[in-house]
Amino acid sequence: MHRIQAICLGHKEKFIDNYQSIEKLEAQVLEKYRKYLVQTNVKEIYVPFILAYKSEVTGKEEILTDINVIPKNNGQWFRLYVKRIWDTCCVCISPFGIVPDQLPCECPIEDCSYQYCSKCVQSIKTCNNINKAQFYCLYCQNSCMNDARVNELLLSLLWQKYSVKYGIDLLSSTNIMPGALSNDISSRIIHVQSLIQTLNGKINNDAFISESVQLLIVRASTFIKNLKRIKRDVDKLISTNNDDELNHCFTIYLNELNGNHDKVRKCENFIEICELLLYEIQQLEMKKFFPSLNDKMNQWENTLFTSDQFEPKIIDVFRSLEDDLGRNIIPSVSCRIGLIGETSAGKTSLALALRRIQDNYTIDFQSKELPSIILSSPIGVYKSTYCQLEFEHQYNNDKKVIFVDIEGSTDNDLYVKSGNYFDQIKKADCDLYIIVFDHSFTDVHRQWQQYIVTHLNRTCWIVRSKVDELFIRTFKQDVGQDFYLTDEMTRKKYAEKIMQRVRELGILDNKGKELSHVYFTFISDENHIRNQNLSIQTYVQFDLEKLINDIINLPISFHENRLQQMAIYATARIINICFRRGYTLNVMKYKILAGFAAVIPFLDLVPRYFARERIRQKFGVNTCSYFMKWWTGERDEFHDYLKEFNIEIDESNFKTSALKNTFKLSGVSSEGKVTNTSSIAVKTATGIGAAGVSISEDGLRTVGIGTTHTVRGLSVGLIVVSALLTAGMCAWSAVSNGKQMYDYLNRLCDDLIFVSGHVAIKIIKNNHEIRDEFLNQT
């Protein structure tokens, strides 16, 4: 029998069974830890996890891949770590990655395993001067001499994901085919150059470019020049059949992709450059569109380590947001259109056609200078887009859009998981997604569509590409003749009927269900095929021009929603960094306060309430305590500011009561929403304790004034007995209150981000109406 002690986020469980496979063990683990591994509020969301153990040979954590690693019948418990694969840091909610600030670190306490980004780890250590800059885990409440170091196991899993994303597996076959090697080099040159071009487009003319960004651009440019040199050598060898020289070029190419000898992962240099460029593009976008918010964030980040006071105030965030939104004119904000689909479905060719660009473009690889314009993503039979690439385009009516060419799907997952195609769709953050398919609309496509419309709340269109192939096959089958070999009279006679038949077939999915609306297009890569296809267009009408026209005439709401999404992201970033991360270090203060209060049983609920009050006041959500407002009549500045916008919000979406009664209710009855606290006010302290954590913060507001009188009624005997349990009570209340306060902090930050979206769209619409009125008057 196997005897296993599993640990998941500090929760221990024992498993005793004769396991024949890892799958059986995984099923039992998932069932036991379901509430930690599955987001039950959204049944489609599945959180992946791994089973890990500490190897006796290497002393490092390894993934359990063989059930025979677990000993049988030896009377000892085998320790197994159930690790949830986190997408984001548990403090600032930033995504993990291979960029230095985003590396996944883990609490060194084995029974904890909460994961932090490297930036938060450094911030916590810098602020934790009480314990000599030790790392302090905000969940298990331990200060550790051992640092929260990068978890190599999780980092390895990240690199596995990036290896698939950046097509590392394709390199194994390119060394024996010179054309494939030349095309692979071209693809990676175009990727890096496109990212450099996008980065330069985000830099304002008068903006200060940091030294790190300058060095990154130099590094990427040098990388491109080296690849261009290699490609020129490869192209010279294509017609020589000199395999030795070709393999030599391939080795040099791999070395350039891998980087210096210190880098141990395949293609590490190329992946690092792409990811760093993507990271800096994201940072610069906030600086360009939200300079006031960005300045506030930099100011507050600097004072985090130099000031004893918590300086950020939420009203300053919203006022800076209002100032930034006033700088942006709606038509100048480009909405984002994402093209998704399987590899080689025709996404890149469609992106070219939508921009009215011919796909027979070339890049002058003989030139030592980088091309000033990269027309599009590379086109290939196999995977040719390794990361999302952006191309801004302006139509004749001054409509601006950004086409986002998302790498082709290589998985068939039907559930949302970290690192799969759903994750890529979400991270692309587009206002309109276009699903491109070339054969059958499958269950995978349907899941993408539902995820985009239902979960992301974005618009989704469907394009059936390569319709010319279906047209030719259908013509041959129904007419009995080859379209290209028959006479013109026969073509004219049957072409429209065949096209109607093609549309009937093309709007059906793999189960025979009719799709609501489909655009039919074709864009071929080879000139001789294109010439044949042009002859088809003389007889039938495809939907490319209609698709372009619909994009040109996208409603103004798409641009408003884009600016709103950008505003939410910018606001969330400053709240996560300056409020979530910046304030969590004060939790320890309340934890100690709760420990003293625990001398009297259950009185720690009262400091917990006052700690929440303190958080709201520190953030500036409340100007003063509820008692002082009742006593002095002072008003909350932030609440009054929000009321000026006259916004309707469904308050059931709030996670705290901090902002309730600030907005007009949105189609929701207020009956039953007010907590009945009249019975709580007359309870004794023992009664409060019996109520436990079920007492709402609203109830404690009612109890607050009379609490001291209630405590006086406690018997001396009860106080004496409780004093014997002080140590245990303090320990429990310290951990409990620390977690309670951090949980409340997170929920309050979530509410502030939620409200920012409503405020942003109100400001955007008001500004747009004012500009329209002004233009109409002039």
Angstrom distances, CA of residue 429 to CA of 337, 422, 450, 569: 9, 11, 16, 10
DSSP one-letter code for 664 = E
> Cβ distance 255 to 206 under 8 Å?
no
Q: Which of 4-13, 597-606, 735-744 has the lowest mean pLDDT?
A: 597-606
Structure confidence by residue, pLDDT tens digits, 483-540? 888 888 888 899 889 888 888 888 877 787 888 889 988 765 443 444 445 467 677 7
- The predicted pLDDT at position 305 comes to 63
Tokens of 701: 């507001």
Instruction: Reduce the DSSP state of residue 405 to 3 states and report it.
Output: strand
Amino acid at site 337: I
Q: Pick the more confident residue, 133 or 417.
A: 133
Task: Please report the pLDDT score of residue 769 as a whole number.
Answer: 81
263 and 98 Cβ atoms separated by less than 8 Å:
no
3-state DSSP assignment of residue 689: helix
CB 612 within 8 A of CB 701: no
pLDDT band at 541 (very low <50, low <70, confident <90, very high): confident
The one-letter amino acid at 62: E
What are the tens digits of pLDDT across the range 706-739?
Answer: 333 333 333 333 333 333 333 333 333 334 445 5
Asked if pLDDT for residue 607 goes beyond 50, the answer is yes
Q: What is the pLDDT of residue 700?
A: 33
Confidence band, pLDDT 50/70/90 cuts, at residue 182: confident
Instruction: State the first-to-last Cα distance of the chain, in angstroms, to the nearest integer.
Output: 85
Out of 21-25, 26-30, 103-107, 626-630, pick the least confident.
Answer: 626-630
User: Rounded distance, CA 213 to CA 200, Å?
Assistant: 10
Does residue 421 surpass a pLDDT of 50?
Answer: yes
- Of 239, 332, 226, give the one whose Cα is nearest residue 560: 332
| Per-residue pLDDT tens digits for 440-473 | 888 889 999 999 999 989 999 999 988 888 888 8
With tokens 């071009």, the residue in question is 197
Give tens-digit pLDDT for 305-314.
666 667 789 9
% the chain with pLDDT above 70: 74
Closest CA to 463 of 542, 365, 358: 542
* Cα–Cα distance for residue pair 329/764, rounded to 1 Å: 9
- The amino acid at 358: Q
pLDDT level of residue 54 (50, 70, 90 thresholds): confident
List the domain boundaries for the chain.
Answer: 5-67, 151-298, 303-329+567-655+714-777, 333-356+375-554
Strand ranges of the sheet holding 432-437, from the earlier edge strand across to the other edge: 389-394, 400-405, 335-340, 432-437, 459-464, 519-520
Q: Please report which confidence band the pLDDT of residue 304 belongs to, taking 50, 70 and 90 as the band edges.
A: low
* Location of structure tokens 């930034």: 324
CB 110 within 8 A of CB 5: no
Burial grade of 8 (CB within 10 A; 0-12, 13-18, 19 or more): buried
The tens digit of pLDDT for each residue in 194-237 reads 889 888 888 765 567 888 899 999 999 999 999 999 999 998 88
Q: pTM of the full predicted structure? A: 0.74
- The span from the CA of 453 to the CA of 131, in Å, is 49
Range of 305-314, 339-348, 607-616, 638-647 with top mean pLDDT: 638-647
Residue 459 pLDDT: 94
- For residues 382-397, average pLDDT: 71
| pLDDT at residue 735 in the model | 40
Q: What's the average model confidence in pLDDT over 24-38?
A: 79
* Level-2 CATH architecture, domain 333-356+375-554: 3-Layer(aba) Sandwich (3.40)
Residue 111: the pLDDT is: 72
pLDDT higher than threshold 50 for residue 657: yes
Q: Which residue has the higher pLDDT, 336 or 140?
A: 336
The dihedral sign for the CA sequence 513, 514, 519, 523: positive
**Helices of type H across 598-669:** 605-619, 626-632, 637-643
Contact (Cβ atoms closer than 8 angstroms) between residue 317 and residue 753: no
Q: Tens of pLDDT along 130-156? A: 556 678 787 777 777 677 888 888 888
674, pLDDT greater than 80: no
The pLDDT of residue 334 is 87
Cβ count within 10 A of residue 699:
22
pLDDT at 34 over 70: yes
- In this predicted structure, the answer to whether residue 298 has a pLDDT above a threshold of 60 is yes
Task: Report which DSSP code applies to 463.
Answer: E
* Candidate from 86-95, 308-317, 358-367, 469-478 with smallest mean pLDDT: 358-367
| Residue 327, token pair as written in the block | 């700088």
pLDDT, tens only, 396-416: 877 888 888 887 776 665 554
Write out pLDDT tens, residues 360-381: 444 455 454 444 444 455 555 5
pLDDT of residue 668: 44
> pLDDT, tens digit, for every residue of 742-774?
678 888 988 999 999 999 999 998 888 877 776
- On the question of pLDDT at 571 being above 90, the answer is yes
Q: Which residues, listed in sequence order, are joined to residue 106 by a DSSP beta bridge?
A: 115
Nearest-angstrom CA–CA distance, 292 and 616 = 23
Mean pLDDT, residues 701-707 taken together: 33
- With residue 178 as reference, give the H or E element that holds it: helix 178-202
Residue 748 CA to residue 750 CA, distance in Å, equals 5
Decide if 199 contacts 284 (C-beta within 8 A).
Answer: yes
- Residue pair 733/597 in contact (Cβ under 8 Å)? The answer is yes
Tokens found for residue 728: 């245990």
What pLDDT does residue 41 have?
45
> Residue 524: what pLDDT?
53
Q: What is the mean pLDDT of the chain?
A: 75
Say whether 346 sits in a helix, a strand or coil: coil
